[in-house]
């Protein structure tokens, strides 16, 4: 599956998204989004 197709699939199945440094990160669970919000540097390379 192509990366763009995978991203569309993720955006459909996951309702929470954040934009960090020009990239979009999708979260299927609110708790994961909150953890990312608290310290994005821990998760973003």
- Per-residue pLDDT tens for 1-45? 445 555 555 555 566 788 888 888 888 888 888 898 899 889 887
Structure tokens at 34: 């909150």
Report residue 3: phi and psi, to 5°.
-55, -40
Supply the pLDDT for residue 38.
92
What is the pLDDT, as a whole number, of residue 12? Answer: 52
Report the distance separating Cα 24 and Cα 40, nearest Å: 12
DSSP code of residue 29: S
Using CA atoms, how far residue 23 sits from 2, 13, in Å, is 17, 18
Domain boundaries, the chain: 3-42
Q: For the CA atoms of 1, 30, 45, 19, what is the dihedral angle to 10 degrees?
A: 80
């Amino acid at each position: 599956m192509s990366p763009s197709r995978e991203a569309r699939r993720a955006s459909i199945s996951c309702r929470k998204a954040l934009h960090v440094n020009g990239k979009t990160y999708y979260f299927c669970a609110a708790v994961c989004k909150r953890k990312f919000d608290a310290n994005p540097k821990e998760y973003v390379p």
